[in-house]
Amino acid sequence: MMVQEQHATKGKAAGDEGGHAQEYLTYTLGPEEYAIDILKVQEIRGYEPPTTIANAPDFLKGVINLRGTIVPIVDLRIKFNVGKADYTPFTVVIILNIGSRVVGIVVDSVSDVTMLRQEQIRPAPEFAATVDTKYINGLCTLDERMLIVVDIERLMLSSEMALVDAAQHAQ
């Protein structure tokens, strides 16, 4: 499924109507629900075990060949230390376009696509979370749900992820 193309036009039109509204893909990691900018999402795939890389960090599960592109696969459940990483039929890989790189992230499940206005996203308080708050854009309450809005580009481009070299980071 090519998510980015489908939602780029739709999100722009909705943003024009409500002023600053943006589409987010929501997904779960353990009991927590997260949201990322839909424009960073290329596609969503079922989880298939990647080819492992020797001496890679635990959260880097390996690489897959995605139509000729070698894509590193990061398990966010391990990276964020959110419970045990079980691979079920609901486990999916979200393929992201970050800068000039394609990266996959493993999550427990994808929930939906939702529109959020900037004023709905509140700053993250200082708390002892498993996710470093510098990668959190804010928190959003949607009905009974609390969404953690992640700056996925900042996270993936961070030096601790070691997925993008310094030259690409400077762009």
Per-residue pLDDT tens digits for 34-50: 999 999 999 999 999 99
DSSP assigned state of 40: G
Q: Are 97 and 168 in contact (CB under 8 A)?
A: no
Residue 82 belongs to some domain of the structure:
yes
Residue 128 belongs to some domain of the structure:
yes
Cα dihedral angle (37, 84, 161, 103), rounded to 10 degrees?
Answer: -50
Residue 12 belongs to some domain of the structure:
no
d(CA 29, CA 159): 22
The pLDDT > 70 percentage for the chain reads 79
Domain, as residue range, for 68: 22-169
Residue 7 belongs to some domain of the structure:
no
Q: Is 5 exposed, middle or buried, given 0-12, 13-18 or 19+ CB atoms closer than 10 A?
A: exposed
Q: How many domains does the chain have?
A: 1
Q: pTM for the whole thing? A: 0.81
Q: Are 105 and 94 in contact (CB under 8 A)?
A: yes
Report the half-sphere exposure of 32 (CA within 13 A, side-chain side): 19
Per-residue pLDDT tens digits for 23-38: 999 999 988 999 999 9
CATH of the domain at 101: 2.40.50.180
Residue 15 belongs to some domain of the structure:
no
